[in-house]
Structure 1
Amino acid sequence: MTWDAFLDQVGQWLDGRRLLSPDRSWVVGVSGGPDSTLLLHVLCELARRERLAWRLHAAHFHHGLRGAEADADAAFVSELADQLDLPYFVERANIGAVVAVEGGSMEEVARRLRYDFLERVALKTGSDLVAVAHHADDNAETVLHRICRGTGLRGLIGIHELRPIRPDSHIRLVRPFLAQRRATIEAQCAARGITMRQDATNQSMEFTRGRIRHRVMPVLRELLNPQVDDALLRLSEHARLLGSYLEDAAARTFDSLVISEGPGCIVLNTRALLLKQRIIQAEVVRRAMNLLMGGEQDLSFAHIEAVLRLAEDPGSGKEVHIPGPFVVRKQYDRLEFRPLTEPEPALEVPQVFVACPGKTTLSVLGLELHAELIAPTREELDAARRNKNRLEEWLDWERITPPLLVRGRRDGDRFRPLGGPGAKTIGDFFTEQKVDPALRARTGILCDQVGPLWVMPLRIDERAKLRSTTRRVVRLVLTPLPQPATGGA
């Protein structure tokens, strides 16, 4: 392949992703090896040939692992950037020391710190694109590695050609060589006389990628399929197409299942969710979490299954914690997704005696209770029954044993809900009424010396209801306390 043909291929790849616009700022990750060195040359040449006003920045991450050899890599990239008249950024780390403190593998830690560095350079230079030089052979090896570890459909896609550098970042990571083979890249370097560095660790068997590249892949080519690389890349492409279809289907389904959606909570209809196919259920759950956290999350199949098992559980009030961190809570027919925050301290409703007649402030509940004793006419009693208001109740005073008080629910509290068949615990009443567990501790109970009279503002006790023989009534009205003023002089 000629140099111009190679440039055409990369240019068309970029153009197909709308990345060939004239005014771009790029950070190019350059290790000094053949792939990244050629990538820097290609982007410079495309900018010149297409007359693009690109601002290119070379960035090199020194891992602090290979002594003088790594120092020489950094010096080489510095000289290359100087030759191409490009700004140069370098950062040195001690990966071994970080692993010793934080744990994890050398490969994982090095990758994380390298991308953190590239993102910082992008922010510093005002760049929205970070280019790295992964190619098709890297992708084939990645797919094989994930198959061996155990993966789902998303893992089979392999390396993404274009994605945010972090889930919530506006900076995109671009891999312009992902459709190119290693042999093609090396041939272009040789034909152009491009000098580069060779990283000895690429030949090492110490790291997983080296073992896959130099041991596993050759055996597969020899014993199973000489074109195993192509087969893995076809599998990757099929997975990408199927994944794209499922994402679209999940988006449509998600919209039909949403009960409420806001920056701090997404609520789905559990019953409707469970009517969908399992794969769509999983994609809907994944979408809810991604939307909540503002980008693609690293969620395993086990995490998704834990949420779906929660949805299938016939109980209510249960929850699972998912990395992110999320909490997913099942509330009857609602599945609530929230970011995990520090738990609020348990709220206790203090016991407060009610002024009757008079006004009683219930600070913890944010309410004021107005009580007055009246002797209503028959017409007024009938009107009170017809015009029921959740925040106003009329109770038969002659069936009450004063004094009245308001307190929180206690274990074993029982009452006979108005219109119900018999007595039950207030806890069972909450369950039947599908009261959110978080609200149960914030519910005031109006009591006399016999027991509960009004689970405010849900239901009164049968014994205090108005009857045709009622002569004296205590009229109770709840009003919200005014909110304190904020700001202003």
Structure 2
Amino acid sequence: MKESTLHRLTEQVRRLGRQEQLWSPGDVIVVAVSGGVDSTVLLHIMKEIAGDEALGLQLICAHLHHGLRGDEADRDAEFVRELAGRLGIPFDLGHADVRNYMKETGKSLELAAREKRYEYLHQVAERCGASSIALAHHADDQAETVMMRVLRGSGPSGLSGMRPKRREKNVELIRPLLRIYKTDLLLACRESELPFVEDSSNQDKEFTRNSVRLDVLPFLGQYNGQLPESLNRLAELAAAEDDYLQQEASKTYAELVRKEDEVLSYAVPLFTTLHVALQRRLIKLILNYLPLSTEERDFVKVEAIRQGTIQDRPTTWSLDLGGGVKCIREYDLIRFIPPAVESRIPHHTYLVEQFPAEVPIEGMDQSLRMTQLGAGWDSVLAKAEGNNEAIFDADELVYPLTVRSRIPGDAMKVMGLNGSKKVKDIFIDAKIPPSLRSRIPIITDAAGRILWIPGVRRSAVAAVNPRTTSVVHMVLIPR
């Protein structure tokens, strides 16, 4: 006896279910059913698979009344209710006011209906403790999706189309029919005499998807008689390569990206060694971890960040990414700063009235230690290296000393320079990132003279000389 089309499709879905791990024993699955041919076949197939005692799947048939098509929508809801009843599957009916939602959000009818539908399905899944939501998208839907993304200028991720399984809001969205074409679904209904309803809005070319299905694909089909199959093959190839690149981007993220106080950052020299495809993927992955809406993670922003990173000339710039998130380049460091992170440290002032003293530096994991030395101080001078410590003639200072935040207009007398130099310019010359400048303390004496900018530069004030008998030694130490 010839195998029925419905049975053949059921076995095809079983195989896809095993390959893609669409379900596990004991899963509760919400099946989205509109009453059309696609979802009607899906519900029959899922009912057959759920009958396998080894799996023990539990199904809920869910239908959303969008409030758009009057009596026709009422008819569809009643049809799905009766279908679920005949199959012995629990039925859930939801209602949405899509037109009112459109007015509130300014979104198109197509997008508004989709968002309310998914919102409802997620509510059913949460209420019923479901692990997944089964959607009736099939291979022709996949071809339409890929073509729509081609027309929008999508990248490789978009060309991969819909996936058989995708996690969203702690629930798996599964598409068991994704490898099956519409002709087979219609044939299954005819052979098995499965009734279904027709949605008149599927012929409305005001909807982009309908226009692509009814006009664009048939027109292009003149040049490729296997266009839907070709687009599905493109999606499959793009999906595999997209997965590979995503894995590589995740590895690169772990190696290059640092996180501190919710701020993500990477070093420019390491980034520039990456292939351009991996550079874009890394930036896109970083943006996915930030509180941005989907619309704000677009190619233009990714490319602006990438071009700003690879430019040869060390520089500083700031790019508003939306949602209060900023991307900042500070010489050889790129930083992504969410809105909750304050880049400035509150102003602070500490008086140092006796030695030894140890002052913690606000916003940094270092402290400033100050000691006064008499005889033998020259041995300390011999050991002093770099900008992390400094020695001053103790008799030339005016006490008490002060450790404070930088103030606009601060200037310091610099060795070898007649007059003073603004602290801002000193920071620029030393390539100190702007976000760190407010964290670096300024040490002054009671005469208001800046003595030292720890880790950056000391002043010409109170320089030691052959007549020096005692010194004040300042050094940065880890906390």
TM-score by length of 2: 0.86
Instruction: From 34, 38, 48, give the equivalent of 1:31.
Output: 34
Q: Would the aligned equivalents of 2:102 and 2:112 in 1 still touch at CA under 8 Å?
A: yes
Query: Which residue pairs with 1:212 in the alignment?
Result: 212
Query: Can you list the C-alpha shifts for 1:238-295, whole angstroms capped at 9, x where unaligned?
Result: 322332332234344444434x247934322221211222112111222233356799
TM-score by length of 1: 0.84
1:347-366 aligned within 5 A: 347-349=345-347, 354-355=352-353
Matched to 2:242, the amino acid is G
For the residue of structure 1 that corresponds to 2:56, the secondary structure is: coil
- Residues 47 and 296 of structure 1: CA distance in aligned 2, closer, same or farther (over 3 Å): farther
Query: Which residue pairs with 1:182 in the alignment?
Result: 182
- Residues 159 and 369 of structure 1: CA distance in aligned 2, closer, same or farther (over 3 Å): closer
For the residue of structure 2 that corresponds to 1:327, the secondary structure is: strand
For the residue of structure 2 that corresponds to 1:464, the secondary structure is: coil
Query: Can you list the C-alpha shifts for 1:462-488, whole angstroms capped at 9, x where unaligned?
Result: 33343332124345688999xxxxxxx
Matched to 2:91, the amino acid is Y
Matched to 2:427, the amino acid is F
Query: Which residue pairs with 1:466 in the alignment?
Result: 464
Unaligned runs of 5+ in 2: none
Give the whole-Å Cα distance in 2 for the aligned partners of 1:73 and 1:86. Answer: 17
1:257 maps to 2:224: no
Matched to 2:214, the amino acid is H
Instruction: From 146, 151, 167, give the equivalent of 2:149.
Output: 146
Matched to 1:187, the amino acid is L
Once the two structures are overlaid, the 10-residue window that deviates more, 467-476 or 33-42, is: 467-476
Instruction: From 280, 301, 304, give the equivalent of 2:302.
Output: 304
Q: Would the aligned equivalents of 1:418 and 1:465 in 2 still touch at CA under 8 Å?
A: no
Count, aligned residues: 473
1:426 maps to 2:423: yes
Query: Which residue pairs with 1:444 in the alignment?
Result: 441
Matched to 2:318, the amino acid is E
1:184-333 aligned within 5 A: 184-221=184-221, 223-258=222-257, 260-261=258-259, 264-291=262-289, 299-313=297-311, 314-322=313-321, 326-333=325-332
Residue 81 of structure 1, CA deviation: 2.3
Query: Can you list the C-alpha shifts for 1:197-228, whole angstroms capped at 9, x where unaligned?
Result: 2111011222111222222222222x423322
Query: Which residue pairs with 2:56 in the alignment?
Result: 53
Give the whole-Å Cα distance in 2 for the aligned partners of 1:51 and 1:364. Answer: 62
Give the whole-Å Cα distance in 1 for the aligned partners of 2:467 and 2:175. Answer: 84
Matched to 2:434, the amino acid is P
Give the whole-Å Cα distance in 2 for the aligned partners of 1:272 and 1:363. Answer: 30
Give the whole-Å Cα distance in 1 for the aligned partners of 2:162 and 2:187. Answer: 23
Q: Would the aligned equivalents of 1:349 and 1:442 in 2 still touch at CA under 8 Å?
A: no
Residue 427 of structure 1, CA deviation: 1.9
Query: Which residue pairs with 1:487 in the alignment?
Result: none
Q: Would the aligned equivalents of 1:162 and 1:173 in 2 still touch at CA under 8 Å?
A: yes
Unaligned runs of 5+ in 1: 482-489
- Residues 422 and 106 of structure 1: CA distance in aligned 2, closer, same or farther (over 3 Å): same
1:72 maps to 2:81: no
1:356-435 aligned within 5 A: 374=372, 376-377=374-375, 379-383=376-380, 385-386=382-383, 394-402=391-399, 404-415=401-412, 424-435=421-432
1:40 maps to 2:37: no
1:12 maps to 2:15: yes
Give the whole-Å Cα distance in 2 for the aligned partners of 1:327 and 1:294. Answer: 11
Give the whole-Å Cα distance in 2 for the aligned partners of 1:345 and 1:287. Answer: 23
Residue 460 of structure 1, CA deviation: 2.9
* Alignment RMSD (CA, Å): 3.5
Residue 430 of structure 1, CA deviation: 2.5
Query: Which residue pairs with 2:170 in the alignment?
Result: 170
- Residues 278 and 369 of structure 1: CA distance in aligned 2, closer, same or farther (over 3 Å): closer
Once the two structures are overlaid, the 10-residue window that deviates more, 435-444 or 470-479, is: 470-479
Residue 121 of structure 1, CA deviation: 1.7
For the residue of structure 1 that corresponds to 2:461, the secondary structure is: helix
- Residues 255 and 357 of structure 1: CA distance in aligned 2, closer, same or farther (over 3 Å): closer
Q: Would the aligned equivalents of 2:292 and 2:322 in 1 still touch at CA under 8 Å?
A: no
Q: Would the aligned equivalents of 1:266 and 1:292 in 2 still touch at CA under 8 Å?
A: no
Residue 155 of structure 1, CA deviation: 1.9
1:102 maps to 2:105: yes
Give the whole-Å Cα distance in 2 for the aligned partners of 1:365 and 1:20. Answer: 49
Once the two structures are overlaid, the 10-residue window that deviates more, 58-67 or 439-448, is: 439-448
Give the whole-Å Cα distance in 2 for the aligned partners of 1:18 and 1:355. Answer: 70
Query: Which residue pairs with 1:2 in the alignment?
Result: 5
